[in-house]
């Protein structure tokens, strides 16, 4: 693959698809009932933490994902924080996760007083590797009656949080089996994978809890927002309770019986979410078409355009290529961004950040390999594409 020609072609195709202005990596689209629902919300006076749109939004996402329950939160990080607490993680515990993730995953682990352990990802999914997970546990952990413990640190490994990177599902069914064998709670960070499936099952439905994000750059947005989805009615009830200050229901008295959080999604944000959910299927259709277009372009040039593994379906949140080297990656990023076409490298590995640099890892061979090569390319819904689709 000749990098200069690949870059030139990417610039040209980006302009062809997205036009001559600055091209963002992923912009939100508000072409449905967003304005109307927001106005209704303001007119009703219910703009804050009480209102019918929150419940409606929760029901819509639950129905779409096939989860029985959904609890909306202020953002995805808050959803993760609460899910970690509800999974029974205690301060001083350890949680297995990926070094290939957005900082939110590790921040939430830290808020709960726990520490991450970084296990390698698979190169094809860029998500937690079940083979690496199994090996890590066999080499480093021991099962006792009270759970699984890290033989080196002596700490309890109480949870595992894999992440579906850029919307490509990881091998979550295999991971779930391993976690069950080792008696480790599983939480899916599905922040990036609304609309992604493993077989016919939506990502986020393989664990006792999963979390979503509706930040401005995600597949759908509520401005800022997140959600916990679960099939467990008790967990759903407790999630709602501690995200709404743990207030004991009463017509007028203020009684709270544990430390709770003010993590509930405001009605205004949920109103936006309801309108976005109405368009989600169309967003996904267009994003698939866009991914196919990029795929045809890169495949023809022998470049590695990432796709979901056999049997899975990606939401194509962020289109992703894997270049040959760090040098190629740097060149690609520099020239595209200099040309007002936004491209981004994958995150700096969590294990390299000052807060997490001393956390135990398994060597992270694939993670390091990917960090040197992965680039995200423009992935927005192109102007006019929604109108064209509905005509």
Ligand X SMILES: *Cc1c(COP(=O)(O)O)cnc(C)c1O
- 269 binds ligand X, rule: CB under 6 A: no
- 102 binds ligand X, rule: CB under 6 A: yes
Kind of pairing between the strands at 94-98 and 209-213 = unpaired
Report, in Å, the least distance between residue 356 CB and ligand X: 15
Closest chain position to ligand X (CB): 76
Residue from 23, 126, 178, 191 binding ligand X (CB under 6 A): 191
- 351 binds ligand X, rule: CB under 6 A: no
Cα 291 to Cα 265: distance, rounded to the nearest angstrom: 32
Write out the two tokens for 347: 């995150």
Classify residue 122 by its DSSP letter.
P
Report, in Å, the least distance between residue 223 CB and ligand X: 10
Q: Which of residues 120 and 328 has its CB atom nearest to ligand X in the complex?
A: 120
Residue from 213, 243, 276, 366 binding ligand X (CB under 6 A): 213
Question: x/- site string to ligand X, residues 149 to 188, per CB under 6 A?
Answer: --------------x-------------------------
- 276 binds ligand X, rule: CB under 6 A: no
Distances (CA, A) of 290 to 1, 16, 149, 164, 286: 22, 12, 46, 20, 6
Residue from 10, 105, 205, 351 binding ligand X (CB under 6 A): 105
Residue from 85, 115, 188, 189 binding ligand X (CB under 6 A): 189
Q: How many CA atoms lie within 13 A of 262 on its CB side?
A: 4
Cα 80 to Cα 69: distance, rounded to the nearest angstrom: 16
Residue from 10, 14, 97, 101 binding ligand X (CB under 6 A): 101
Residue from 10, 65, 77, 150 binding ligand X (CB under 6 A): 77
**Please, are residues 222 and 34 in contact by the beta-carbon 8 Å criterion?**
no
- 75 binds ligand X, rule: CB under 6 A: yes
The owner of tokens 């090569």 is 373
The residue count for binding ligand X (CB under 6 A) is 14
Classify residue 205 by its DSSP letter.
S
Backbone angles phi, psi at 385, to 5 degrees: -65, -35
**Please, are residues 349 and 100 in contact by the beta-carbon 8 Å criterion?**
yes
State CA 71 to chain mean position distance.
Answer: 16
For ligand X, the binding residues (CB under 6 A) are 75-77, 101-102, 104-105, 163, 189, 191-192, 213, 215, 226
């Amino acid at each position: 693959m000749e990098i200069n020609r690949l870059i030139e072609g990417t610039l040209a195709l980006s302009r062809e698809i997205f036009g001559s202005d600055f091209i963002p990596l992923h912009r939100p689209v508000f072409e449905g009932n967003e304005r109307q629902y927001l106005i209704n919300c303001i007119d009703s006076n219910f703009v804050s933490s009480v209102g019918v749109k929150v419940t409606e939004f929760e029901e819509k996402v639950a129905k779409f994902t096939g989860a029985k329950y959904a609890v909306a939160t202020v953002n995805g990080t808050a959803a993760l924080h609460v899910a970690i607490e509800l999974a029974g993680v205690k301060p001083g515990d350890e949680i297995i996760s990926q070094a290939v993730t957005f900082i939110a995953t590790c921040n939430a682990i830290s808020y709960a007083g726990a520490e991450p352990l970084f296990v390698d990802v698979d190169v094809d999914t860029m998500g937690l590797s079940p083979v690496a997970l199994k090996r890590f546990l066999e080499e480093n952990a021991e099962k006792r009656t009270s759970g699984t413990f890290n033989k080196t640190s002596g700490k309890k490994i109480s949870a595992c949080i894999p992440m579906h990177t850029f919307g490509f599902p990881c091998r979550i069914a295999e991971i779930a089996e391993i976690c069950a064998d080792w008696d480790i709670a599983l939480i899916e960070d599905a922040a990036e994978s609304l609309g992604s499936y493993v077989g016919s099952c939506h990502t986020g439905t393989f664990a006792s809890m999963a979390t979503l994000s509706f930040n401005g750059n995600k597949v759908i947005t509520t401005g800022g927002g997140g959600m916990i989805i679960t099939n467990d009615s008790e967990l759903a009830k407790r999630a709602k309770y501690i995200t709404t200050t743990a207030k004991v229901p009463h017509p007028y008295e203020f009684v709270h019986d544990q430390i709770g959080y003010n993590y509930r999604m405001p009605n205004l944000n949920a109103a936006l979410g309801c309108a976005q959910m109405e368009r989600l299927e169309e967003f996904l259709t267009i994003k698939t078409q866009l991914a196919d277009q990029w795929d045809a372009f890169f495949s023809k040039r022998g470049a590695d355009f990432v796709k979901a593994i056999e049997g899975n379906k990606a939401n194509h949140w962020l289109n992703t290529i894997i270049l040959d080297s760090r040098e190629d990656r740097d060149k690609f990023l520099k020239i595209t961004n200099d040309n007002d076409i936004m491209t981004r490298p994958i995150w700096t590995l969590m294990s390299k950040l000052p807060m997490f640099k001393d956390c135990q890892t398994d060597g992270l061979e694939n993670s390091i390999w990917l960090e040197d090569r992965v680039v995200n390319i423009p992935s927005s819904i192109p102007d006019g594409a929604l109108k064209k689709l509905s005509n």
